[in-house]
Amino acid sequence: MAEPVTIAVQTTKPRPAPSRSRSLLTEPKVLLGGSFILLLIVIAVFAPWIAPKDPLEQDLMLGSLPPVWLDGAEPGYYLGTDDLGRDVLSRLLHGSRIALFVAFVSASLAALIGTVLGLLAGWYGGWTDRIISRIVDIWMAFPPVLLSILLVAVFGSGVHSVIAAIVIIDWTRFCRVVRAETLAQAQLDYVTAARTVGFPRIKILTREIFPNVVPVLIALVSLEMGIAVVVEAILSFVGLSVSSDTPTWGGMIAQGRQLIHHAWWLLVAPLGLLFATVLAFNQLGSGLRRALDPVLRR
């Protein structure tokens, strides 16, 4: 009689998903975008001490000086001067303070309003969802840039008016995304289990659903900061942001556009920094979404 043959089956445990902290440290987009934004924050905070010159100091004898690598440059004016003799580098550094302040404050307020309404609409449904969704649909029918210009024109120029205009327009972006994510989370098993146990609805929303919406929300906030930087630059470009004496990237772009033929650096410097900042926010948001989402981290 033949002896039974035993076959050894080697089982392998599924590879666990990396932790969120490790995912953040190994995500290239987070490292690159976050490093640039962190550097920009440091520059904005310490701009009065880092800037080589007073950004408002004028010297018509030094007007339209080229950067240091071109002929005719003056020592100490690394990116040249504008037509009024003001140091371009110093104005760029001080302009980052307005851009980042508007970005962080407006994105945070828009996220707060949109998240609360999106959670309520996605979780409670019914007439709550219908009312909020109709308001969002109507509000998003208006062109955002034109509406922001109209709102700032009504409120008056200033940083607070710019922030208010961005918040009033962009809360709908957060509301739609959070509502859709809440609807998706509400269909999952852990929510059904919480309902079966008898958890109150508001407790399920705040302790079960909201933490799983946070990864998407964090990524969206980062993307919204990039949009806010662009909106502030547009409003500064048309003269509806802060006063003309305050250095802003949009105001420098508007000035450089008029002098592009004989002082191209006045346009290239703020435009390049604006592009790099928006790209960094976008890359950071994309990287955060990938690193914090448990499905994408597998």
- 19, part of any domain: no
Provide the pLDDT for residue 12: 41
Provide the pLDDT for residue 11: 41
CATH code, 165: 1.10.3720.10
- 38, part of any domain: no
- 164, part of any domain: yes
Q: How far is CA 145 from CA 130, 173, 238, in A?
A: 26, 14, 12
Block mean pLDDT (10 aa), the chain, length 298: 47 49 72 92 92 86 84 84 88 92 94 93 89 89 80 81 89 91 87 83 86 88 91 86 81 87 88 93 85 58
Q: How far is CA 100 from CA 103, 151, 265, in A?
A: 5, 21, 23
Cβ neighbours for 38, distance < 8 A, ≥ 6 positions apart = none
Provide the pLDDT for residue 139: 86
Strands (E), 28-181: none
- 282, part of any domain: no
- 148, part of any domain: yes
What is the pTM assigned to this prediction? 0.85
- 287, part of any domain: no
Question: For residue 150, what are the domain limits?
Answer: 98-259
Provide the pLDDT for residue 106: 93
- 29, part of any domain: no
Q: Could you tell me if 225 and 166 are in contact, meaning their C-beta atoms sit under 8 angstroms apart?
A: no
Number of structural domains the chain divides into: 1
- 90, part of any domain: no
